[in-house]
Every structure is written in structure tokens, then in C-alpha cells.
Structure 1
Amino acid sequence: MLRRFSLFSLGFFGWLLVSVNASASFSSTLSEGYQTLSNNVAQTWNEPEHYDLYVPAITWHARFAYDKEKTDKYNERPWGAGFGVSRWDEKGNWHGLYLMAFKDSFNKWEPIGGYGWEKTWRPLTDQNFHLGLGYTLGVTARDNWDYIPIPVILHWRQ
């Protein structure tokens, strides 16, 4: 009986030690990620290299995800405009801050603003050509949700 209790205790305290370490590591990772994000946003705001004009012109609704009756009613020309500031970092990645408004799928105005980051690759000798994958963190508001601010995390590619 004492042996089972000792093995259980040893296992439990080992698990507890690993859990505390994992929790501290996760917390540290979150803290470092937030600090990096904050620094990138601040640097992009304080040291922009470019001033950007955004003109949203095409929205595509995945035909496999919606029935034809719905897609026939959706607006796929989200005319609008926006403005942003951006910079390229020492690794060649893009950072941007933006605000824009456009017509959503129901032809109602939708504002959005946020921070975008894009990892870029330049596979050719022409440095003007690049491929990229990234994300944006921001806030939007929609008519069909009574314009309540909604946080968004979206991916993008270029």
C-alpha cells in the first residue's frame, strides 16, 4: 500500500512540476508575443515608410459554402476606400496599419481597422516580385450585428 502511495505521489508531483513548467512557458510565450506585436505596431505607426491607399474591389463568396440562392443576392463588388501606413522590416517582411470602409455582402457599409503582417519570399532575382502569407488583427462592425465592434483575426496571401 505504501509503495502504491509513493508511486502515485511521485507521479502526481512529477505531473504537477511539468504542468507548472508548461504553464510558465505558455505564459512567457504569450507575453513575448504580445510584446513583439506591441513593438511592431508602435514602430509601424512611428516610423512608416509608405502611405497606402486601399481600394477594395472584388469579394468572392466560395460557391461550395453557400447555395446559389444566397450567392445570387450577395454583393461581390465591395466598393470603398481606406488609408494606411506601412513599412518593411530588416527581414523583408511587411507591417501595416489601416482603416477602411467598404460595402459588405449585403451592400451595407462596413468599417474595419487593424494591423497586418506578411512574411514575404522573393524567389526571383527581381526584388519587386514577392510571395507572401500573413494575418491581420483588427476590429470591424456590421449592419446585421447592429454595428457592435467585433474583433477579427484573418489570414491573407499575396
Structure 2
Amino acid sequence: MSLNETNQIVEKLFPFVEKFIKEELDQTLLLDDVKDTAPCISFVTGDSRKFNFNVVDGYDGEFNFTIYYKVKNKDTKERLQATKTLNYIGVFFDEATQKGILPYLSDKDKAVRLEMVSNPTLNTREENGNIVYSAEYTFIYRHANKY
């Protein structure tokens, strides 16, 4: 995946997810900075790939990313809230895919699907007691050929 494609996707996908987090969860989405009780998104471009190539310059692309969610480890209810939030984001992605309201990329690149691909898992236990959960998501897009 080229640097231009990666930048294009990040520039369109981050605001799309950020808007949902702000409107539905009343929180601020952070980029690569896990802070107290705020969702954080990290783009894992090394796992991204192109597939389903055709003979005249078309292909599908897969862009993977992770969303982290930190909670204070007060009780089970607090920990369940973290996994519930990450699952809720996955439900939103499924609904956005079904309704066709995915981010616009360009005239040649079309968003196809946005989905959660792993269940939320415990990622880190911090010394201060906070716990970070994470879930993996993927964004599928189609690059049109020249014709």
C-alpha cells in the first residue's frame, strides 16, 4: 500500500470515527496516545494489503487499525464498560456498512466495508491500576481501474 493511499485513508477514516465517538460517546478520540478513559485509535499500516487484483489496474485494499480504551480498574462494571464501548463501535461500523454511509475516499477509491475483526481483549495493566482494552478493526476499499 502506497504512502499516498495510507494518508488518504487515515485522513478520511479518522474524522469519520472521531465524529461517532464525539456524538455517541461524548468523548474525544485520540491518535496514538492512550490517556485516562479516552478512546485511542492506532493505524497498523504494516498489516494493510492489496488483494483481488484485476488485469486493468483495479484491486481491493484492506486497511487494519486498533482502537484502545482505558478504564480505571475500580470494579467489574468499569471493565465491562470498556468492552461494551469497543463492541458498540463495531456495531456502528456494521450499521454504517449496511446503510452505505462510509467515508468518501475519492472518485477512484470507494469504501466497501468497515468491521470489527477481533473481540475486545485486555491489552495492558498499568502500575496505577488502570486497564487498557483493545479491539482490531478493518476497512475494505475498492480501487477502480483506469477504464
Answer yes or no: same fold by TM over 0.5: no
Query: Who wins on radius of gyration, i.e. which is larger?
Result: 1
Higher relative contact order (CA 8 A, sep 6+): 2
| TM-score (ref. length: structure 2) | 0.31
